[in-house]
Amino acid sequence: MSSLLEVENLNVHIKTQLGIVKAVRGVSFSLQKGETLAIVGESGSGKSITVKGIMGLLPNNGKIAEGTVFMEGKELSKLPEREMQKIRGEDISMIFQDPMTSLNPTMTVGKQIMEVLHEHHPEFSKETLKEKAIEQIRLVGLSNPETRFGQYPHQLSGGMRQRVIIAIALACNPKILIADEPTTALDVTIQAQILDLMKELQGKIDTSIILITHNLGVVANIADRVAVMYGGKLVETGNLRDVFYQTAHPYTKGLLASIPKLHEHNQQLFSIPGTPPDLMDPPKGCPFAARCPHTMKVCEAYMPEYTCLSETHKAACWLLDERAKEQGKDGADNA
């Protein structure tokens, strides 16, 4: 199985006035054709910076310090900016969190879609472009595509705007769609609509999706595989069911336990104490050691390596090490 996107040991550093923030520290993952990979993590866990690094969209003070990103055999991190720009439009598209600021307020919706189409198909005539743009608007489920074509972003609601953004992102049938918190700014009823739309479109045009989110409900709804990030590291990755039902890493467990379940009553809500580490000066060992209920001495001193739990499921935690299991029952068992 050859993967579409292969990220190997990615390290991203961001220079700030107070020092260098090691925002992403040795992240590796791959994306298969047609699948949806969800990257889950809290703010500051490095999930957004990871995909920005992949896309070559790091802020000016950020740079890839180490690691490679391969897409279909091409090393993206080595490409010149102009070729990267081409890839960003044609092969990889991106949807951002805020539907208010992602669209140009002075241009009609139709024009904005036509512009993207024109960029990649300069051979199309104006009429073809318009036809394709309207088709695109219809595809994302907006009513009266012809009317919408001539409207400005401020005439649309947040949910409609997010649909337009999806229409623009998918205008060139990208191989990968990166969605950075696409539903966070939306209300729940609208969020459900957008998730349904993304699933439906993925079936239609066979694109792979990288979804960045902190909402585990959204992940459960749409993802095939899950990667959990914490403190700039990938702490657990596996198939959807692996991560939700055979949870291995204490952070993932804590995260799942800290969401109240809608269909259970009188439950006790678990909360992870403390706050995430400062990545200006990341801990030497496991980034979660300071908040973990099962911290061992080794966790504070050494960074855990990945333990493969199955072909698809791996986690970076010392509790999964043979020696921790021998040590007694205060380890993984009672978690």
Q: Of the two residues 54 and 216, which places its CB atom closer to other proteins in the complex?
A: 216
Q: If binding is defined by CB under 8 A, does position 244 make contact with other proteins? A: yes
Nearer to other proteins, 106 or 189 (CB): 189
Q: Which among 138, 76, 139 has a CA at the least distance from the CA of 148?
A: 138
- Indicate which single residue of 65, 192, 332, 335 sits in contact with other proteins (rule: CB under 8 A): 192
Binding mask 169-188 for other proteins (x = CB under 8 A): ------------------xx
Determine which residue in the list 37, 76, 211, 292 makes contact with other proteins, applying CB under 8 A: 292
Site for other proteins in 14-43 (CB under 8 A): 16-18, 42-43
Site for other proteins contains 218 (CB under 8 A): yes
CA-based nearest residue to 253, from 215, 221, 293: 293
Q: Of 201 and 216, which CB lies nearer to other proteins in the complex structure?
A: 216
Rounded alpha-carbon distances, angstroms, from residue 264 to 189, 260, 323 = 22, 8, 37
Type of residue found at 149:
F
**276 scored as a contact of other proteins (CB under 8 A):** yes
Stretch of 26-34, 49-57, 130-138, 285-293 lying at the interface with other proteins (CB under 8 A)? 285-293
Q: Is the dihedral of CA 115, 117, 118, 120 positive or negative?
A: positive
- Piece in contact with other proteins (CB under 8 A), picked from 72-80, 105-113, 145-153, 189-197: 189-197
Cβ atoms of residues 40 and 47 within 8 Å: yes
Q: In what order do the strands lie in the sheet with 74-75?
A: 19-31, 5-16, 62-71, 74-75
* Residue of 105, 125, 126, 265 that binds other proteins (CB under 8 A): 265
333 touching other proteins, by CB under 8 A: no
36: phi then psi, degrees, rounded to nearest 5: -115, 120
When the beta carbons of 122 and 273 are compared against other proteins, the nearer one is 273
The residue length of the chain stands at 335
The residue among 56 and 276 lying less far from other proteins, judged by its C-beta, is 276
**b/e 126-151 (16+ beta carbons within 10 angstroms → b):** eeebbebbbebbebbbbeebeebbeb
Closest to other proteins by CB, 145 or 174? 145
- Name the maximum alpha-carbon separation found in the chain: 72
Whole-angstrom Cα distance, residue 151 to residue 108?
5
Q: How far is the CB of 115 from other proteins (least distance, A)?
A: 26
State how far the Cα of 102 lies from the Cα of 248, in Å rounded to an integer. 37
Of 112-120, 170-178, 201-209, 269-277: span binding other proteins (CB under 8 A): 269-277
Q: Does 296 bind other proteins (CB under 8 A)?
A: yes
Of residues 312 through 331, those in contact with other proteins by CB under 8 A are 318, 321, 323-324, 326-327, 330-331
3-class secondary structure, 114? helix
Range list of β-strands (E), 32-162 = 36-40, 62-71, 74-75, 92-95
194 binds other proteins per the rule CB under 8 A = no
334 binds other proteins (CB under 8 A): no
Q: Is 76 in the site for other proteins (CB under 8 A)?
A: no
Stretch of 76-84, 106-114, 202-210, 268-276 lying at the interface with other proteins (CB under 8 A): 268-276
Beta strand pairing call for 5-16 and 19-31: antiparallel
Contacts (CB under 8 A) with other proteins, residues 42-71 = 42-43
Neighbouring residues of 152: CB distance < 8 A, sequence distance ≥ 6:
105, 106, 107, 108, 109
Task: For residues 159 and 194, give the distance between their C-alpha atoms in angstroms, rounded to a whole number.
Answer: 7
Minimum distance between the CB of residue 294 and other proteins, rounded to whole angstroms? 7
